[in-house]
Amino acid sequence: MSVVTVQLGQCGNQVGQELFDTIWTDNVPEGQRKTYCTSSRDRFFRRTAHGGLQARAVLIDMEPKVINQSMTKAAKSGRWKYGETSHFSQKQGSGNNWANGYHVLGPRHRDVVEELVRREVESCDVLAGFMPMMSVAGGTGSGVGTFVTQCLRDIYPGSFILNHLTWPYGTGEVIVQNYNSVLTLAHLYQLSDAILVHENDVVHKICSQLLNIKPISFSDINGVIAHQLGGVLQPALTPDSHGAYGGNPLGELVSALACHPEYKLLSVCTVPQMPTSSIAFSTFSWPALLKHLRQMLISNSKMEEGIDWQVSLPPAAGRVRGLTPGSFNVSLANLLVLRGKDVFSAETGGFADPSIYTSWLPSEEAFSLWKSPVPFNKYEKSATLVTNSQALLRPLDDMVRKAWNMFASRAYMHQYIKFGMSEEDFLDSFTSLEQVISSYSQLHS
Amino acid sequence: MTQSVVVQVGQCGNQVGCRFWDLALREHAHVNKRGLYDEALGSFFRNVDTRKSDGGTCCVGDRIHHLKARAVLVDMEEGVVNQILQGPLREVFDSTQLLTDVSGSGNNWAAGYMTYGSAYRESIVDKLRKASEHCDCLQCFFLIHSMGGGTGSGLGTRVLSLLEEEFPDVCRIVTSMYPSLDDDVITSPYNSVLAMRELTEHADCVLPVENQSLMDIVNKINVMSHGGKPGSVVRSDSTITSGRGGLSGAEKPFDAMNNIVANLLLNITRYEVKNVLQHPTYAIFAVVSVETFQAESFGLSSFRLRPTLPFVSWNQEAWKTGLCSVPPVGHAHSLLALANNTCVKPTFMELRERFTKLYKKKAHLHHYLHVDGMEQSVFDEAFSSLSSLIEEYHHLDATKARLIPDAPRLCIAT
């Protein structure tokens, strides 16, 4: 089953290129990996007439620079490339303005984009679904990305849509990033099946503290994101796949995790993560990896370093509000993907413990486990956890708070209003997100 | 890549503009070793091969034949434009880009705005249209003019409103030269205030430049790469104010090579920066660093600087950084700071005072009122527009010391 990736804006195109690269690198066929690799290749690439591999991707941006870079980088590697005609760009960019992207540029270029997507879809034997990849801070990824997601929803109502979002540094990359983020999230909540989020702040820490990278560039950040995404999306043996690799990763992920329309925010963490040079000298055991991962989950820590071991499950009668620091992170649903050696002997009972989950979902429904005996991306053993929990509550709340403060003084509003938005549109988006924040805050186990 | 068109109006505007083109050519010459017409050049210049029959425009990637500036030069007297056409830059402009008259505007805003504005409207729009048609993707107009005179101030602001009318989607960025205290044009306060109102209404972004500040910089600097004329230097604390009450729109980051509205020559010592930047309240701050900075080290130094700058409560993180690995000609590094802050307020207040002094006595008013279409109410409106602008800045400054609590959020019924 094939996934069509739609790379939107600068970030989407850069992360997407890293993702395809990571997946390709993971696909070196050897012995038992053959079915795995075939399945992975079919999922993300198609064969060209000359026998090469072409990514199942549509590249969209309102300025040409990044698409050119991504396409050149891919082609230069000689290993895989993007389709020559699978991209669309303009010259002026979106001016970091969501309204410009969503109300003007999206509709203006709708037909071209739909055509590109349709071609990709038709080349799939069986369509698993779409993965639009974008950032929320700028104008194209956020605005045009939201519009494109809406078009996908209209034209392919039966297909799964998993949006991958990159949230910006809290300290600010774009001055109006909080507006753009709020507007994007509020709209996507209605359109998307699930929203998988990576935060630049978190990934930056992983690069600096775990991977010892100095200085950290966006390319390093994208590499980590690609590694984590690959850990989720590469083929695995799932409860539904009956011993074969070919399932629908998007569909199974969505049905495992997006159990309620009010709760769609997913975050990812992966263990272990270490500099490539250290991997050869490290030994991994499943009990240790899983113990760390579980504690990372309940203490809402995104890395193996600095885990707060003090956080523990509350007594049965305890009720903890999600926003207080040091408190316990309640999950709705978790998906654990184990890859590598001895994967069938790994003991995952800790994740099926009902006290980690909300009371209204039984833990057999809430916890899903996928396995693959094939080691992923050079790690002999690795575990990826995709969680629908309160993990994103605090960053979301911060984002809404800052946007609201700006909105209260109507700063920059004229820039959005001139592209056809009104204050009501803003208020609607704020209301939607406050509802989401409230829902997540109210979770208790 | 997108293109920009420079519109230079009046004596000052054309002199500064002339320095700009000179500098732009030097910068490109310094970097462009292969003589190819690349996208960076394309944003300010056209490449014209006069041997071709169809008008000669060449594409990006061709060899450079003749570079023509994407510019429109307007002046109501011929002296300055003639000088340009006889100087080393004569090849860069062709006659279709020029608009001149003989008698000048007599340092009278009304003459520039109303008389010449109406007489030359068609011609100006025509030239602007031609310039924009040569552009693949026109991103913005740069207007260069002075505020104190007649042509730059009056006709310049008329051109600005024409730009808004005819090209509403294209950004308008204005560099305005404000008169210094000892300016020799008596009516410069009138002209400046009348022009200010137009800027507030029609400009997307204004870079105000003060002659006095320029003189100070010239005196401080030991070696100037150009002659003594301080026509093209921007002071480190020059501010951006937008057309709408001082709240700047989200800036479009300029491509580094093109961020040459004026010279990027900045000899900021840390001492100067600290002193200058700590007083006003900041709405927004953008820095373009031109050298091979590592992103991280730059982030660290901006982290250190940022807490010392008081930002408005609703825009605490209004800081944007850009990096460019190509330094300007003659320098190893340079730093450009663009700030939207309240330090422009004293300039406006001074201007208002000088205006009031003259206006109370109705001095020289008859020169303006004699012009067809000009009435006293125009003066009153301009004055109140300036006053309300100053009020808005006052308001921002007043919030500086206070700790503003977060605005109460929407409550969801549970």
Mapped to the 3 state alphabet, what secondary structure does chain A carry? CEEEEEEEHHHHHHHHHHHHHHHHHHCCCCCCHHHHHHHHHHHHEEECCCCCEEECEEEEECCHHHHHHHHHHHHHHCCCECCCCCEEECCCCCCCCHHHHHHHHHHHCHHHHHHHHHHHHHCCCCEEEEEEEEECCCCHHHHHHHHHHHHHHHHCCCCEEEEEEEECCCCCCCCCHHHHHHHHHHHHHHHCCEEEEEEHHHHHHHHHHHCCCCCCCHHHHHHHHHHHHHHHHCCCECCCCCCCCCCCHHHHHHHHHCCECCECEEEEEEECCCCHHHHCCCCCCHHHHHHHHHHHHHHCCCCCCCCCCCCCCCCCCCCCCCCCCCCCCCEEEEEEEEEECCHHHCCCHHHHCHHHECCCCCHHHHEEEEEECCCECCECEEEEEEEEEHHHHHHHHHHHHHHHHHHHCCCCHHHHHCCCCCHHHHHHHHHHHHHHHHHHHCCCC
**CATH code (residue A33):** 3.40.50.1440
A93, A400, A409: residue with CB nearest B314: A409
H/E stretch holding B350: helix B345-360
Q: B167 near B125, Cβ under 8 Å?
A: no
- Of A312-326, B202-216, B355-369, highest mean pLDDT: B355-369
Residue A321, pLDDT above cutoff 50? no
Name every chain A residue with its beta carbon within 8 A of the beta carbon of B313: 405, 409
pLDDT at B183: 79
Provide the number of structural domains found in chain A.
3
Shared-domain flag, residues A242 and A154: yes
Residues A218, A233: one domain?
Answer: yes
Residue from B247, B311, B403 whose CB has the most chain A CBs within 10 Å, to mutate: B247
pLDDT band at B261 (very low <50, low <70, confident <90, very high): very low
The number of CA neighbours under 13 Å toward the Cβ of B341 is 22
* A175, A216, A434: residue with CB nearest B412: A434
Residues A184 and A56 in one domain: yes
Can you read off the two tokens belonging to residue A193? 């099946």
The CA distance from A65 to the nearest CA of chain B, in Å, is 9
* Out of A32-46, A279-293, A312-326, B176-190, least confident range: A312-326
More confident residue, B74 or B23: B74
Closest in B250, B319, B409 to A176, CB measured: B250
A306 shares a domain with A167: no
A7-11, A175-179, A223-227: range with lowest mean pLDDT:
A175-179
Could you tell me if residue B64 is inside a domain? no
- Confidence bin at B392 (pLDDT 50/70/90): confident
Model pLDDT for residues A69-91, shown as the tens digit of each residue: 999 999 998 889 999 999 999 98
Of A69, A61, A70, A26, residue with least CA distance to A132: A61
pLDDT: is B88 or A119 the higher one?
A119
Q: Closest chain B residue to A138 measured between Cα atoms?
A: B250
Q: What is this structure's pTM? A: 0.83
pLDDT, position B245: 23
Domain assignment present for B291: yes
CATH number at residue B298: 3.40.50.1440
User: What distances in angstroms separate CA A386 from CA A148, A186, A253, A255, B160, one per listed residue?
Assistant: 25, 21, 9, 13, 55
Q: Over 80: is that where the pLDDT of B192 sits? A: yes
What is the predicted pLDDT for the residue at A98? 95
Tell me if B45 is assigned to some domain. Answer: no
pLDDT digits (tens, 9 = 90+) for A332-350: 999 999 999 898 899 998 8
Number of domains in chain B: 1
* Distance of alpha carbon A167 from alpha carbon A432, whole angstroms: 18
* B191 inside domain: yes
- B155 within a domain of the structure (yes/no): yes
Angle at A361 between CA A358 and CA A364, to 5 degrees: 115
Of A96, A407, A437, the CB nearest to B250: A96
What's the confidence (pLDDT) of residue B311? 74
Distance CA A129, CA A4 (A): 6
Q: Per-residue pLDDT for B237 more than 50?
A: no
pLDDT the model gives residue A228:
96
Question: CB of A393 within 8 Å of any CB in chain B?
Answer: no
pLDDT band at B295 (very low <50, low <70, confident <90, very high): very low
Distance from CA of B247 to the nearest CA of A (A): 7
Containing B255, the helix (H) or strand (E) segment is none
What's the rounded mean pLDDT across residues A258-263?
91
Segment B184-213 mean pLDDT: 88
User: Could you tell me if A81 and A39 lie in one domain?
Assistant: yes
Q: Which among A403, A313, A294 has a CA at the least distance from the CA of A355? A: A313
- Per-residue pLDDT band for A399 (boundaries 50, 70, 90) equals very high
Contact check, Cβ <8 Å, B250/A95: yes
Among A234, A268, A302, the domain-final residue is A268
Across-strand partners of A296? none
* pLDDT band for position A223 (cuts 50, 70, 90): very high
- CATH classification at residue A409: 1.10.287
Do B406 and A97 make contact, defined as CB atoms within 8 angstroms?
Answer: no
Per-residue pLDDT at B292: 40
Give burial (CB, 10 Å; 0-12/13-18/19+) of B152: buried
Q: What is the pLDDT of residue A230?
A: 95
Gap from A439 CA to chain B (nearest CA, Å): 9
* pLDDT single digits (tens) B242-258: 222 222 222 222 222 12
A203 and A237 share a domain? Answer: yes
pLDDT digits (tens, 9 = 90+) for A228-259: 999 999 999 988 777 788 789 999 999 999 98
Strands A331-340 and A381-389: antiparallel
Tens digit of pLDDT for each residue in B337-364? Answer: 777 777 788 888 999 999 999 999 998 9
Find the mean pLDDT for residues A206-216: 88
Pairing of strands B45-48, B66-69: antiparallel
Q: What single letter denotes the amino acid at residue A114?
A: E
Q: Tell me the pLDDT tens digit for each residue of A89-111.
A: 998 888 889 999 999 999 999 99
Mean pLDDT on A261-276: 92
Are both A192 and A318 inside the same structural domain?
no
DSSP codes of every residue in B284-341: EEEEEEES---HHHHHHHHHHHGGGSPBPGGGTT-EEEEEES-PPTT-S-EEEEEEEE
Q: Are residues A275 and A264 in the same domain?
A: no
DSSP character for B134?
Answer: T
- For residue B165, is it within any domain? yes
At A387, give phi and psi (nearest 5°).
-125, 140
Residue B325 has pLDDT above 80, yes or no: no
Question: Do residues A90 and A113 both lie within one domain?
Answer: yes
Q: How far B392 CA sits from the closest chain A CA (Å)? A: 13
B-chain CB neighbours of A406 within 8 Å are: 314-315
Pick the range with the lowest mean pLDDT from A219-228, B88-97, B230-239.
B230-239
Q: How confident is the model at residue A315 (pLDDT cuts 50, 70, 90)?
A: low
Q: What is the mean pLDDT of residues A181-190?
A: 96
Residue B44 placed within a domain: no
- Place B402 in a pLDDT band, splitting at 50, 70 and 90: low
Contact yes or no for B249 and A172 at CB 8 A: no
| pLDDT for residue B407 | 79
Average the pLDDT over each of A155-159, A320-324, A406-410 and give the range with the smallest value: A320-324
pLDDT, tens digit, 9 for 90 and up, residues B118-128: 999 999 999 99
Given an 8 Å threshold on Cβ–Cβ distance, is A171 in contact with B317? yes
Lowest mean pLDDT: which of B272-281, B323-332, B358-367?
B272-281
According to the model, what pLDDT value does residue A257 have? 94
Distance CA A333, CA A364 (A): 10
Kindly list the residues from chain B whose CB atom is less than 8 angstroms away from the CB atom of residue A322: none
Given A235, A268, A301, which residue is the final one in a domain?
A268
Residues found in chain B: 414
Residue A268's φ and ψ, nearest 5 degrees, are -125, 140
A287, with CB counted inside 10 A (0-12, 13-18, 19+), is exposed
Residue in B closest to A174 by C-alpha = B320
Q: Assign B233 to helix, strand or coil.
A: strand
What is the model's pLDDT at position B83? 87
Report whether A282 contacts A272 (CB < 8 A): yes
**Cα–Cα nearest to A176, from A209, A139, A201, A213:** A139
How far apart are alpha carbons B272 and B249 in whole angstroms? 27
Q: Which of B60, B294, B412 to mutate to test the interface with A (most CBs of A within 10 A)?
A: B412
Same domain, A330 and A408: no
B346: Cβ contacts below 8 Å, ≥ 6 apart: none
Judging contacts by C-beta atoms under 8 Å, the chain B residues touching residue A171 are 317
B301 CA: distance to closest CA in chain A (Å)? 14
pLDDT given at position B244 = 26
Whole-number pLDDT of residue A255: 92
A391-405, B43-57, B195-209, B316-330: the lowest-pLDDT one: B316-330
- Cα distance between the two ends of chain B: 51
Decide: helix, strand or coil at residue B6.
Answer: strand
Residue in chain B nearest A406 by alpha carbon: B314
Q: Are A339 and A375 in contact (CB under 8 A)?
A: yes
Percentage of chain A surpassing pLDDT 90?
Answer: 63
CA-to-CA distance for B340 and B286, rounded, in angstroms?
9
Percent of chain B with pLDDT over 70: 74
CA distance B376 to chain A (A): 31
Domain of A328, in residue numbers: 270-390
Give the separation between CA B283 and CA B240, rounded to whole angstroms: 10
Best of A208, A319, A409, A424 to disrupt the B interface (most B CBs within 10 Å) is A409
Residue B238's domain comprises 3-35+71-403
Phi/psi at B235 (5° precision): -75, 155
The four Cα atoms B140, B146, B149, B152 give a dihedral, to 10 degrees, of -20
Please enumerate residues of B whose Cβ is less than 8 A from a Cβ of A: 1-2, 136-137, 139, 244, 247, 249-250, 252, 284, 294-297, 312-320, 406-407, 409-412, 414
Q: Which residue among B2, B296, B315 sits closest to A91, beta carbon to beta carbon?
A: B2
**Residue contact A93–B317, C-beta within 8 A:** no
A408 closest CB neighbour out of B2, B294, B407: B407
Same domain, A385 and A301: yes
**A76 and A27 within one domain:** yes
Q: Is the Cβ of A216 closer than 8 Å to some Cβ of chain B?
A: yes
Q: For residues A318-342, b (16+ Cβ closer than 10 Å) or e, as one string?
A: eebebeeeebbbbbbbbbbbbbbee
Angle formed at CA A112 by CA A191 and CA A174, multiple of 5 degrees: 60
Query: Is A214 in Cβ contact with B284 (below 8 Å)?
Result: no
Would you state the pLDDT for residue B346? 85
Beta strand pairing status for A381-389 and A265-271? antiparallel
Whether A425 and A370 have beta carbons less than 8 Å apart is answered as: no
Cα radius of gyration rounded to whole Å, chain A: 21
| Distance between first and last Cα of chain A | 36
In a domain, B91, yes or no: yes
Among candidate residues A268, A298, A315, the one where a domain is terminated: A268
How do the residues of chain B divide into helix, strand and coil, expressed in percent and rounded to 5? 45, 20, 40
pLDDT score, position A70: 93
Positive or negative: CA dihedral B69, B75, B79, B80: negative
The pLDDT value recorded for residue B241 is 30
Average pLDDT over chain B, rounded to an integer: 75
Is the pLDDT at A27 greater than 50? The verdict is: yes
